[in-house]
Structure 1
């Protein structure tokens, strides 16, 4: 009581001096290693995870169809597919070392994901004394690895958005491709819109002027392939920009989630391992449906972009949870499910890219 200041006020923490504040800021900067975050980091990580999961599913499906052959036969040699997986991851690293600009990053994410999928597919051999490829908990180990990757990316994205300085730095990174004649016009326009929203960062206007003068990339594809690609891209854009695009994605997600659950239940076998498979599939289905519900809720509230992002999470949860367990019950239908999930992820990304979510305001207003 005698130590309480006059007036009964509680103790206040001492205000740090400006020198201490500066020192603390310097420590934080050193801990962050002065790294500039990429605005496409989540996109590239999603590509990496999706290609890795797809590789695992396709590899196991192929091995099941062909009776699990071994490269090397009876010669005493066994070339495990972890070796080409390591070579593909090496190729992805070399792409990052050898080239500058944005060009190699999507390819490196895809190639590295395929390599990592081939590597992780043999995790059962790495954690068992008898090199058991069919080790029961192997799918769970793979699942934990991928979930940690996706959750870390999502948390990092929403916890601290890119600052204006980081956005300008990303635009400067894109300019590298523009100066080399490798920048698509759609990407250039996207960066110009970002720079238009930034006015108080040094160099933003000068960078905008440079990007505005960059010549669009001339496609290296032959004329026939270029026309075919444009037709496919135009068809996807029409679907994504349709007012029914979100409805179609939602309906397919519901059918996809419930279909996996129905297949697993219809193949029910009274065994301890199958109970785990069924529980995992039903859990993945529940998570997917919950994300769909959140997406519909945000859609009716008028927040179309967030709604589509929740639908993306639903497709990802189906890919990372449902199909992993579904594969153990029915490899063939699981591979088909992976293809559907990939198409839904691509369609959701196209919806976000084309901006067709702006129709959500009308839905929210009438709902």
Structure 2
């Protein structure tokens, strides 16, 4: 008997973005609150209730939410709670990797950043399913219908569900066991279509606002001045990042904290700067290749340099991270608009 893989969810990418955003925000807010409050401790008499326990509790609640409830609100709630729980857990990674259970272990910030960087890369690479079997199409249509039970469906949701239920398999040349009339597949699809059509209509005031915000963001990001402005600010970060470690190296090496991270930060900044300079020389001759090199420069910073920046500078590196992420978004949009993007 053939083993079938589970049907892929069309909302998984959005839900994972919620989880990642919730986790990142939780780490930053936790660090800010503890520093502001003077690192208070909950407990007494030799007991200390670490916030990793609250993280485990939130993860349990998130899992329970997905098991006990249907619908998108439950999934979004579980993703937010799970992200917050994971953030509270990973925030204490310094205690788990050191013998002295050191919350302030300097490389912990780099480990936390790298963990979320890997999660974000997975989310970015997790594209919406292109070639779906009819089983996956029907399951996705049914998921949309279940989301609308009790609340109704917007026009966009109803149209998407009907396309999924009525559409043919992604590869008509390949026999799909689920499409065999003898399996009752058509009857299942007809039942899903009937359910989708029977659900009441729901107006979504947020849909228009989301579209307006998305259109505004696209207009801002696609302006050439946006790429120049963000790139300029990004380049201005390089001298301080290189100068600080060099100044430390020129002084007392024994007093330099995280010397290895500082050297690696300089190396990553040098590679990123070399790619950016090369992109500048190519900008007029081959704009598309120049943009690709500039994006590679930003990726070197995000996937390598930032790990060591967080180790050496701790969470002061967050501002620079935001600029790098913004530049990456601008460059990605610009690459899709530039002739030669298909190459």
- Aligned match for 2:94, one of 119, 124, 144: 124
Question: 2:11 corresponds to which residue?
Answer: 40
Secondary structure at the counterpart of residue 198 of structure 1 = coil
Q: Does 1:334 align with 2:317?
A: yes
- Aligned match for 2:137, one of 167, 172, 179: 167
Question: 2:202 corresponds to which residue?
Answer: 217
Structure 2: distance between partners of 1:63 and 1:341: 27
Question: 1:242 corresponds to which residue?
Answer: 219
Mapping of 1:172-321 within 5 angstroms? 172-195=142-165, 197-198=167-168, 201=179, 202-203=185-186, 204=189, 207-208=192-193, 210-217=195-202, 233=210, 235-242=212-219, 245=222, 247=224, 250-251=227-228, 254=231, 257-258=234-235, 260-268=237-245, 269-270=248-249, 271=256, 273-277=258-262, 279-280=264-265, 283=268
- Aligned match for 2:21, one of 21, 42, 50: 50
Contact in 2 for aligned 1:281/1:326 (Cα 8 Å): no
Structure 2: distance between partners of 1:198 and 1:189: 15
Change (3 A) 1:155 1:267: same
Secondary structure at the counterpart of residue 60 of structure 2 = helix
Map Cα deviations across residues 12-53 of structure 1 (whole Å, 9 max, x no partner).
xxxxxxxxxxx6xx2xx1xx6x42221222332233233323
Structure 1: distance between partners of 2:50 and 2:82: 18
Secondary structure at the counterpart of residue 108 of structure 1 = helix
Query: Which range moves more in the overlay, 172-181 or 141-150?
Result: 141-150
Contact in 2 for aligned 1:236/1:347 (Cα 8 Å): no
Query: Which range moves more in the overlay, 53-62 or 274-283?
Result: 274-283
Change (3 A) 1:281 1:230: farther
Change (3 A) 1:151 1:339: closer
Structure 2: distance between partners of 1:170 and 1:314: 38
| TM-score of the aligned structures, taking structure 2 as reference length | 0.66
Change (3 A) 1:261 1:113: farther
Change (3 A) 1:54 1:155: same
Question: 1:63 corresponds to which residue?
Answer: 34
Question: 2:73 corresponds to which residue?
Answer: 103
Structure 1: distance between partners of 2:331 and 2:151: 29
Change (3 A) 1:53 1:171: same
Change (3 A) 1:47 1:272: same
| TM-score of the aligned structures, taking structure 1 as reference length | 0.62
Structure 2: distance between partners of 1:187 and 1:135: 48
Secondary structure at the counterpart of residue 118 of structure 1 = helix
- Aligned match for 2:58, one of 75, 78, 88: 88
Structure 1 residue 112: deviation in Å?
0.8
Q: Which runs of 5+ in 1 are unaligned?
A: 1-22, 220-225, 302-306, 352-356
Q: Which runs of 5+ in 2 are unaligned?
A: 173-178, 180-184, 250-255
Question: 1:112 corresponds to which residue?
Answer: 82
Structure 1 residue 337: deviation in Å?
4.5
Secondary structure at the counterpart of residue 261 of structure 2 = helix
Change (3 A) 1:189 1:247: farther
